[in-house]
Amino acid sequence: MPEARRTLRLFGHSYCSLCETMHAQLLGLAGELGFTVELVDIHDDPELEARFGELVPALWGDSDEICHHLLDETALRRYLSAA
């Protein structure tokens, strides 16, 4: 049976250039590393805004933060290999 693809969540804003950059970088790595990216716009959610507002973009897998502000490819690869 093929291995299930991991889903990572990218918390951010639709108007955030750092968020757009990280999303593009993740899409470039998704096929190679076997994951999908779910975009979560925190703009209209006060709870998510309070939690992630200063950290966007914030990349999470399951209940663990992988990185925030800039993509840390080493941390991403480490997270995926440990999962």
* CATH assignment of the domain containing 57: 3.40.30.10
At 65, list the tokens: 């933060």
How much is the pTM?
0.91
Task: Summarize pLDDT for 14-31 with one digit per residue, the tens.
Answer: 899 999 999 999 999 999
Is residue 59 in a domain? yes
Task: Give the residue numbers spanning the domain of 55.
Answer: 6-82
Three-state SS for 37-71 is EEEEECCCCHHHHHHHCCCCCEEEECCEEEEECCC
Task: Summarize pLDDT for 38-60 with one digit per residue, the tens.
Answer: 999 999 999 999 999 899 999 99
Is residue 1 in a domain? no
Is residue 78 in a domain? yes
Is residue 22 in a domain? yes
The pLDDT confidence band at residue 5, using thresholds 50, 70 and 90, is: confident
Is residue 48 in a domain? yes
Give, in order, the Cα–Cα distances in Å from 65 to each of 1, 2, 26, 36, 51: 29, 26, 15, 16, 12
Closest CA to 61 of 41, 81, 42: 81
Is residue 14 in a domain? yes
Is residue 16 in a domain? yes
Tally of structural domains, the chain: 1
